[in-house]
Chain A
Amino acid sequence: MTSLSITTTATTPFAFPYHCFFDKHYFLITKRIQLKLSRGGTIESNKFSGKSGSNKLFVASSCLTKIQTPVETTYKQGVSHKVQFLVSEFRSLTEPIDRVKRLLYYAEMLAPFDESARLPENRVKGCTTQVWLDAGIDKKGKVWFRADSDSEISKGFCSCLIWVMDGADPEEVVGVTAEELVELNSEWQNVLISMRDKAAALVAERHMK
């Protein structure tokens, strides 16, 4: 998670819209945020839950206020911390419809998926919707995931699971148990199992080399 600190020389309270980017693939929907500022000074805005492995926060704003992002406030969470965060976030949404809305919100953040990766071997088995999952190991030995679906709700939980797993050590991915996500439904578990299987296959491939 990252907090955003804003310094301004404005003298009256105002509201301004800004876009926050964690990396070029992930972005929050434009928000209009009312910030009550005293004369000059610095305030901390709301914490943003970063849905990306990247730690850099980019902010673009049309107003003239200078915005700074202290790098030191960002930190990388391990996979199991992220899992707990995800579960507690959805547990806090007691109305099922709010979960649906939250998933649709996260669906917007899903990185674009290359058409060429829509292969039968990338289909996640057991889902009533079509879900594709692609994975690989990057130069740093971390596993990357990309996913897509023809359903917005499925895209939503793919987006969440990718936030948990993308950029992690493949061994960490293999170590996540279905029990940790038992509060979330079987479709999540199908994607999770698929991620684990792909990570395990990548680990095995790496050992063979």
Chain B
Amino acid sequence: MVNTNTDKQGQPLTKFCSCIDEQKEPTMEGLVVKLPSFPFLSPNISSSSSSSTFRLGFRRFSASISAAVNEGFVSLGQLTRPDFPILHQQEVNGSKLVYLDNAATSQKPTAVLKSLQNYYEAYNSNVHRGIHYLSAKATDEYELARKKVAAFINASDSAEIVFTRNATEAINLVAYSWGLSNLKPRDEIILTIAEHHSAIVPWQIVAQKTGAILKFVSLDENEVPDVEKLREMISTSTKLVVVHHVSNVLGSVLPIEDIVIWAHAVGAKVLVDACQSVPHMVVDVQGLDADFLVASSHKMCGPTGIGFLFGKSNLLLTMPPFLGGGEMISDVFLDHSTYAEPPSRFEAGTPAIGEAIGLGAAIDYLSGIGMQKIHDYEMELANYLYEKLCSVPNIRIYGPKPSDDVHRAALCSFNIENIHPTDIATFLDQQHGVAIRSGHHCAQPLHRHLGVNASARASLHFYNTEEDVDNFIQSLKDTVSFFNSFK
């Protein structure tokens, strides 16, 4: 049974609350409720970084607002949209921007933008090295960001969080550091054919160097990776299982807890690609018992240039360095060096300090809303998107059909008969200002299996609304008519 677009009381999600006494501005989507800005005060921030001298501009949900969202008077998308300047300022080719490419990258709220600016204006300094005031402050904030990441995914210790450039670099770190020193000829690494290239290519390189073998799990009849086959494939030869949590093409979710149990039973480790899950739902690394988990900041409302690897302490301690340089050393001699403890061991050179702090601000923003709330809202949007897309003639949507048991992420990759997805995306952009993605979405093996070269993809985030979906569907139907008229 597919959820319809109403809340629990059967009221339409787009009903507006009249009890909030804030200034209201009519917009194309309806009423936007403007909330007062509260300066953000986290219990973790030390007094030196209190916001007494500046307003960070976080929007804090008062109890009445929270209740309004709970009762379905205002959707989460409508409530949070004003926090994202790029969404309500942009005019693309004469139309208002409808941004539906969130699986590629997310937009950033004012809070994150201000934290970046504030870092560079108030306390930019290199970390871990200086003893002056600016450096101490920068170090504090950088390490605080690490703690925020740890808390966000429920890691037991912030030393289990290694900052990297992005998830791709994090996977490469595991491949070159853990992989090269732990894999032997005929050891097996299990992956699915739906993995992102960043989760396949590093292992191909390492397999070639070590003689390990890659084994791939295909899709079942519901177009999700065949979990039963994956279970059967796990053997005493398996040393590592690399799986996505949420697929960036199929929108499907894998049962990571089960996979980890099966892998651990044979002594294999599990690397979870959480790029499409961490931004959209509660992810608990202890609950999952994952050995490694990676994510990118730019997909979770944080800046580009920063991501992280979660690794269990006992694993990180045994891993040799990935990149060599400053920061990751203990002592350096001419003929040898000794290395720092994790996480520093894996953070060579000056890190993306401002960006890490920006990621911390993004986590604060997301936590202020609540990941469960975000997930619940996106589930409804996901069903709405799928349902509406099904009404487009000659469309094929990839991945499982949503149901009570099967939940899809709020993204749909699709193809329409006889129209190339790039042509669709171009027309949507040029004529309607709707931003979707077309191509292989860094999943060429998956597309090959599906029998296509490319697909179009619309992907949502919590600041999207039903109106965005309606806009998209209408524009898509117009696009289809346009191309059909040329034939």
Contact surface of A with B, Cβ cutoff 8 Å? 95-97, 99-100, 104, 107-108, 128-130, 150-154
Contact = CB atoms under 8 A, between A and B. Distances in A.
Interface string B19-38: 00000000000000000000
A39 B426 CA distance: 49
B454 A97 contact: no
Contacts of A128: 422, 438-439, 454
B420 A152 contact: yes
16 contacts: A95-B93, A95-B94, A97-B93, A97-B427, A97-B430, A97-B431, A100-B427, A104-B486, A129-B422, A129-B454, A130-B453, A150-B420, A150-B453, A152-B486, A154-B420, A154-B422
Given A100-B426, A128-B439, A130-B453, 20 more contacts: A95-B94, A96-B93, A96-B430, A97-B430, A97-B431, A100-B430, A104-B486, A107-B486, A128-B438, A128-B454, A129-B420, A129-B422, A129-B453, A129-B454, A152-B419, A152-B483, A152-B486, A153-B420, A154-B420, A154-B422
Nearest to A29: B486
Contacts of B486: 104, 107-108, 152
B423 A152 contact: yes
Nearest to B419: A152
Place the interface of chain B in its size category: 10 to 19
Contacts of B438: 128
A129 B427 CA distance: 15
B417 to A, nearest CB: 13
Contacts of B427: 97, 100
A100 B427 CA distance: 7
A153 B426 contact: yes
Nearest to B431: A97
Nearest to A151: B420
Contacts of B422: 128-129, 151, 153-154
A98 to B, nearest CB: 9
Contacts of B431: 97, 100
Interface in B289-333: none
Contacts of B454: 128-129
A72 B151 CA distance: 81
Residue in A128, A130, A153, A154 whose Cβ sees the most chain B Cβ within 10 Å: A128
Contacts of A130: 453
A96 B483 CA distance: 16
Interface string B396-432: 0000000000000000000000011011001100110
B241 to A, nearest CB: 32
A96 B276 CA distance: 33
Nearest to B425: A128
Interface string B450-474: 0001100000000000000000000
A39 B439 CA distance: 58
A116 B302 CA distance: 49
B171 to A, nearest CB: 24
Contacts of A152: 419-420, 423, 483, 486
A132 to B, nearest CB: 13
A120 to B, nearest CB: 13
A152 B483 CA distance: 9
Contacts of A107: 486
Contacts of B420: 129, 150-154
A151 B423 contact: yes
Nearest to A129: B422
Nearest to A105: B486
Contact of B423 (A97, A108, A153): A153
Nearest to A99: B430
B85 to A, nearest CB: 24
Nearest to A153: B423
Nearest to A104: B486
Residue in A95, A104, A151 whose Cβ sees the most chain B Cβ within 10 Å: A151
4 closest residue pairs by CB, A with B: A151-B420, A96-B430, A97-B430, A97-B431
B400 to A, nearest CB: 27
B379 to A, nearest CB: 31
A13 B440 CA distance: 55
Nearest to B93: A96
Nearest to B440: A128
Contacts of A96: 93, 430
B452 to A, nearest CB: 10
B486 to A, nearest CB: 5
B457 to A, nearest CB: 13
B113 to A, nearest CB: 28
Contacts of A153: 420, 422-423, 426
Contacts of B426: 100, 153
A157 to B, nearest CB: 12
Nearest to A149: B420
A104 B420 CA distance: 13
A152 B94 CA distance: 24
Contacts of A97: 93, 427, 430-431
B391 to A, nearest CB: 24
A128 B419 CA distance: 14
B173 to A, nearest CB: 29
